[in-house]
């Protein structure tokens, strides 16, 4: 685990070392990854997110901070500001991503993005307990993924 | 980031260095602060909490532990026991008992943490709220007071 001290405008961050257990390709900066609880199952391997219904979002490992080749090791950010996270607005009429919106690993799985989600019963969707992994510091309202600023809270 | 190891009765704590981006006044020990996601937006600046509906409580940065002048840098506690946190009980929330979860205040515009409903057995209905710690005192009033709290804001 690596702790970056604040240095004026460079904020405090926490990184962990993980193994890219996704056998198909590299993972790159800004991708949201999930602990691999299906194959590696060792607290080291991370992989592509599965459907959120499998873990309610708590299996989120963090946001990749550098390119990691398949089966290689590298840094994943678990706390603090990240300037370029892959994000899309969750499906639903009131799920636009605004400044401060809490975000979680994507609902459908099989993509490397975080999403907004419903936080109250005043919604079309059934209320579900979901564990967020941070909040937005950008505005983005589309289902199409984009790079956004985010504060990560995935410890 | 500073890690205080346990020393007999002095518990383990974690602190971070932040910038007071609230340009009106100094922030002081015991104040609950929120990451500034509207002006600075850099993961360094913290400010006064906004309405909790904007972020469901997850933007809470922690509890200030020393006086930090406007535009200056100082320590915020993000984990562990704090003996003097500013707290009140929400007008539509439950009384504060030992162990009650606490979140950044619902209305915004103040520097305190509050209790909140955690089940549908409430007039307010269920709203998902991310807590930033739990209460180690008993307190039931809307008027703010200093309480003991265990901070969990990492």
Reported as a single tens digit per residue, the pLDDT across A47-79 is 999 999 999 999 999 999 999 999 999 999 999
Q: How far apart are CA A115 and CA A52, in angstroms?
A: 11
Clarify whether residues A76 and A103 are in a common domain.
no
Do A16 and A71 fall within a single domain?
A: yes
Give the whole-angstrom CA distance, residue B29 versus residue B52: 21
Q: Does B56 touch chain A (CB under 8 A)?
A: yes
Pick from B137, B140, B141, B134: nearest CA to B118: B134
Contact B41/A137, CB-based, under 8 Å? yes
A97 and A110 fall within a common domain: yes
User: Does residue A114 have a pLDDT over 70?
Assistant: yes
Q: Do A3 and B50 make contact, defined as CB atoms within 8 angstroms? A: no
Residues A100 and A134 both lie in one domain: yes
The answer on A8 and A33 residing in a single domain is yes
Query: Where are the domains positioned within chain B?
Result: 2-152
Q: Which residue has the tokens 């240095």?
A: A7
Pick A68 or A91 by higher pLDDT: A68
Three-state secondary structure string covering chain B: CEEECCECCECCEEEEEEEECCCCCCECCCCEEEECCCCCCCCCEEECCCCHHHCCCCCEEEEECCCECCCCEEEEEEEEEEEEEEEECCCCCCCECCCCEEEECCCCCCCCEEECCCCCCCCCCCECCCCCEEECCCECCCCCEEEEEEEECC
Cα–Cα distance for residue pair B132/B103, rounded to 1 Å: 5
Q: Is the ipTM of this complex over 0.90?
A: no
Same structural domain for residues A66 and A111? Answer: no
Split into its structural domains, chain A has a count of: 2
Distance CA B89, CA B93 (A): 6
CB contact under 8 A, B126 and A120: yes
pTM listed for this prediction: 0.91
Same domain for A7 and A74: yes
Mean pLDDT, rounded, for A13-30: 95
- Which pairing describes strands B45-47 and B32-35: parallel, antiparallel, or unpaired? antiparallel
The residues that bridge with B135 in the sheet, in sequence order, are B149
Domain ends where: A80, A101, A126? Answer: A80
Which structural domain range is residue A137 located in? 81-153
Same domain, A64 and A19: yes
Give the model's pLDDT for residue B125.
60
Structure tokens at A104: 């979680």
In the block, tokens 């509050």 appear at: B114
Compute the distance between CA of residue A50 and CA of residue A38 in angstroms, rounded to an integer: 10
Cα angle for residues A117, A122, A126 (degrees, 5° grid) = 60
Give the C-alpha distances (Å, rounded to integers) separating A72 from A22, A50, A110, B7: 10, 21, 20, 40
Shortest CA distance from B129: residue in chain A: A119
Per-residue model confidence as pLDDT tens for chain B (154 residues): 898 887 778 899 999 999 999 988 999 999 999 999 999 999 999 999 999 989 999 999 999 999 999 999 999 999 999 999 999 997 777 888 998 889 999 999 999 999 888 765 555 566 788 888 888 889 888 888 899 988 988 9
The mean pLDDT value for A91-105 works out to 86
Q: Which of A20, A45, A80 corresponds to the end of one domain?
A: A80
Alpha carbon of A24: minimum distance to chain B alpha carbons (Å): 33
Region of A8 (left: φ > 0; alpha: ψ -120 to 50; beta: rest) is left
Is residue A120 over pLDDT 80?
A: no
- The verdict on B42 touching A (C-beta cutoff 8 Å) is yes
Q: What integer pLDDT is reported at residue B121 of this predicted model?
A: 54
Nearest to B16 among A12, A101, A151 (CB): A12
Whether A120 sits inside 8 A of B125 (CB atoms) is yes
Q: Tell me which DSSP letter residue A52 carries.
A: G
Boundary-marking domain end, from A56, A80, A104: A80
Of all residues in chain B, the one with the smallest CA distance to A6 is B17
The answer, yes or no, to whether residue A135 has pLDDT greater than 90, is yes
């Amino acid at each position: 685990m690596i702790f970056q001290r604040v240095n004026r405008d460079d904020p405090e961050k926490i990184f962990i070392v993980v193994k890219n257990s996704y056998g198909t390709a590299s993972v790159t900066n800004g991708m949201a990854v999930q602990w691999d609880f299906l194959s590696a199952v060792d607290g080291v391997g991370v992989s592509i997110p599965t459907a959120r219904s499998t873990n309610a979002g708590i299996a989120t490992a963090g946001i990749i901070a550098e390119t990691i080749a398949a089966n290689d090791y590298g840094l994943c950010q678990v706390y603090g500001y990240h300037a370029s996270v892959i994000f899309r607005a969750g499906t639903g009429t009131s799920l636009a991503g605004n400044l401060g919106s809490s975000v979680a690993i994507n609902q459908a799985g099989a993509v490397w993005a975080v999403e907004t989600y419903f936080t109250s019963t005043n919604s079309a969707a059934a209320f579900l307990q979901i564990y967020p992994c941070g909040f937005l510091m950008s505005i983005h309202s589309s289902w199409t993924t984009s790079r956004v600023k985010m504060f990560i809270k995935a410890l | 980031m500073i890690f205080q190891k346990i020393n007999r009765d002095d518990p383990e704590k974690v602190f971070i260095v932040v910038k007071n981006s609230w340009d009106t006044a100094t922030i002081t020990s015991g104040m609950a602060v929120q990451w500034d996601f509207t002006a600075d937006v850099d993961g360094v600046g913290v400010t006064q909490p906004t309405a909790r509906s904007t972020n469901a409580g997850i933007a809470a940065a922690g509890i200030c532990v020393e006086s930090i002048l406007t535009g200056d840098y100082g320590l915020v506690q993000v984990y562990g026991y704090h003996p003097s946190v500013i707290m009140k009980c929400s007008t539509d929330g439950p009384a504060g008992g030992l162990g009650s979860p606490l979140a950044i205040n619902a209305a915004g515009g103040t520097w305190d943490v509050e209790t909140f409903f955690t089940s549908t057995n409430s007039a307010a209905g269920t709203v998902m709220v991310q807590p930033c710690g739990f209460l180690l005192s008993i307190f039931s009033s809307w008027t703010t007071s200093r309480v003991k709290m265990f901070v969990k804001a990492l």
